[in-house]
């Protein structure tokens, strides 16, 4: 399950990515529980699954940003700049 290639994930549709995300997150929770109760043979599996979840989140966000209009993107940039000034 861990270590999905970026290209493989990038080729998936948003619905497939959502399903993969749900599966990966539930698998991660199961691994965390098993590790807390009895330990895992290879705890590095947790890192791989956690990184896969992050990859999926990143690809979903990229697809979301690619689908917005230039008007919405300009508005988003204004909001980000305003947040930077307030820090």
What is the 3-state composition of the chain as percent helix, strand, coil, each rounded to the nearest 5? 80, 0, 20
Question: For the segment 57-69, what is each residue's pLDDT rounded down to a tens digit?
Answer: 999 999 988 888 8
In angstroms, the CA 36 to CA 86 distance is 41
Q: What is the mean pLDDT of residues 37-44?
A: 92
Spell out the domains of the chain, with CATH numbers in brackets: 6-86 (1.10.287.310)
Read off the pTM.
0.78
């Amino acid at each position: 399950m861990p270590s999905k290639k970026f290209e493989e994930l990038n080729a998936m549709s948003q619905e497939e990515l959502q399903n993969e995300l749900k599966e990966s997150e539930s698998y991660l929770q199961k691994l965390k529980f098993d590790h807390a109760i009895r330990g895992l043979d290879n705890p590095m599996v947790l890192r791989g699954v956690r990184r896969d979840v992050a990859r999926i989140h990143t690809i979903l966000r990229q697809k979301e940003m690619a689908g917005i209009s230039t008007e919405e993107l300009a508005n988003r940039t204004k909001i980000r700049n305003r947040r930077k000034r307030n820090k």
